[in-house]
Amino acid sequence: MIKHLRIDNRLIHGQVAVVWQKYIDAKAIIVCNDKVAADPIQKMALPLAARGSKVLVLSIADMLAYEKEHPDESLFVIAKFPQDALDILRSGVKVESVNVGNAAPIQGTKYVMLTKSTAATKEDAEIYREIAGLNGGRLTTQILPSMEKLDVLSLLDKAGL
């Protein structure tokens, strides 16, 4: 079962490896993005950043198969982009919570900063709204568990997205 699905284009970093992993108490971190999963250097390097936690770097299809084969294992899934998270949710897999972490601006896109660490394009906004719809109408952004959860839909509206 996916205990927590985090959208974070930085993937595994200190906040994720130390704070979120401890807070969620999942048995494995799964980095989920098709291109990252096909990159042998990232597949080797990302587990090193997790400081001893079990880390899998999988395509979306492989993550869904892994979750199905291990239904009792609590998982912390990190999706690189909003579309990755949407694809996971569209599959119908059970996800306890969804959070937008760091969404750094992508050079060459027409983005708006929603918070100091969350950028979104018009296309991202459409995806975030669909994610919220598949998640009981909720989608929050939160850098650390100790910080306030902010409503992504409200931030999108405020930004004119």
**What's the mean pLDDT in 23-47?**
94
Q: What is the pTM of this model?
A: 0.94
pLDDT above 90 (res 13)? no
pLDDT above 80 (res 51)? no
* Residues in CB range of 144: below 8 A, 6 or more apart: 15, 19, 20
Q: How far apart are CA 11 and CA 33, in angstroms?
A: 10
pLDDT tier at 122, thresholds 50, 70, 90: very high
pLDDT tier at 132, thresholds 50, 70, 90: very high
| 69-117 residue pLDDT tens | 999 999 999 999 999 999 999 999 989 999 999 899 999 999 999 999 9
Would you state the pLDDT for residue 15? Answer: 78
Q: How far does Cα 59 stand from its chain's mean position?
A: 13
Tokens at 35, concatenated: 């291109």
Domains and CATH numbers, the chain: 2-158 (3.40.35.10)
Cite the active site residues. 13
Half-sphere CA count of 120, side-chain side, radius 13 A? 27
> What does the mean pLDDT of the chain come to?
93
